[in-house]
Amino acid sequence: MTPKPIFHDHGFGGVAPWVDLVNSEEWDGFGKRDDHLADPLWVGAFLKHWKLPRLRLNDAARRELLELRGMLRRACEKLPLGRSLSAQEISKLNRALNVAARQRFVQHQNGFHSELVPVKSDWRWVMARIAASLGEMLEKGDVERIKICANGDCRWVFYDPTKARIKRWCKDSTCGNRARVRRARAAEKRTA
């Protein structure tokens, strides 16, 4: 028996940890909501994919992840519109980033690199890495490519890879088709 596909097959793991955390509150396009943070298998797949410590999610960590998820959702609603984060939001992100870590020099088959490693591998470290992934995307200037699906019943956060940055739906084959069908039906009603 193969395990139920809960991560990659659902569109997770493609952009950044912060995007996956925001999308862990998943809407099916018809208004039905799934909270993947309540699913230990999804949380395990998330941690494994982003090479984060494999930890058991307790109630306190879940509450903190929910709060971080809400703040990151608000950020991805504001930033692509050219609006800034508030001082309070920046302060919360900085608090999430404030964990003890050290640099380590590593030699691999293909060369050398330095890496940041936690002093303690816990949920504070996981949240710091998630918050840092937003900072890394902002630093690269990719924020205008982060969009929220135009289907109000979906709200999936996605990365727009198009040259003209004109993508409106998370998936043209689902949310895009639903929008076209709704427009066609509305036009039929007007002409009838």
Q: How confident is residue 49, by pLDDT bands cut at 50, 70 and 90?
A: very high
Question: pLDDT tens digits for 66-75?
Answer: 999 999 999 9
Is it the case that residue 1 has pLDDT exceeding 60?
no
How far apart are the C-alpha atoms of 127 and 67, rounded to whole Å? 11
| Residue pair 57/47 in contact by the 8 Å Cβ criterion | no
* Mean pLDDT in residue range 165-189: 75
Pick from 109, 129, 130, 133: which is nearest to 117 by CA? 129
Q: Which amino acid is at 175?
A: C
What rounded mean pLDDT belongs to the chain?
87
* Mean pLDDT in residue range 48-60: 94
SS (H, E, C) the chain: CCCCCCCHHHCCCCCCHHHHHHHCEEECCCCCEEEHHHCHHHHHHHHHHCCCCCCCCCHHHHHHHHHHHHHHHHHHHHHHHCCCCCHHHHHHHHHHHCCCEEEEEEEECCEEEEEEEECCCCHHHHHHHHHHHHHHHHHHCCHHHEEECCCCCCCCEEECCCCCCCCCCCCHHHHHHHHHHHHHHHHHHHHC
How far apart are the C-alpha atoms of 149 and 158, rounded to whole Å? 7
What's residue 95's pLDDT?
93
What's residue 20's pLDDT?
96
Q: Which tops the pLDDT comparison, 179 or 2?
A: 179
Q: Are strands 101-108 and 33-35 parallel, antiparallel or unpaired?
A: unpaired
Determine the longest span between alpha carbons in the chain, in angstroms.
71
* Mean pLDDT in residue range 20-24: 96
Share of the chain above pLDDT 90, in %: 46
Question: pLDDT tens digits for 85-143?
Answer: 899 999 999 999 999 999 999 888 888 989 888 999 999 999 999 999 999 988 888 77
Q: How confident is residue 2, by pLDDT bands cut at 50, 70 and 90?
A: very low
What's residue 187's pLDDT?
75
Is it the case that residue 53 has pLDDT exceeding 80?
yes
How far apart are the C-alpha atoms of 8 and 176, rounded to whole Å? 21
Question: pLDDT tens digits for 25-42?
Answer: 998 777 788 899 999 999
| Residue pair 128/96 in contact by the 8 Å Cβ criterion | yes
Q: What angle do CA 136, 138, 142 make, to 5 degrees?
A: 105
Q: What is the pTM of this model?
A: 0.85
User: What is 8-191's CATH topology?
Assistant: Jann2411-like fold (1.10.3300)
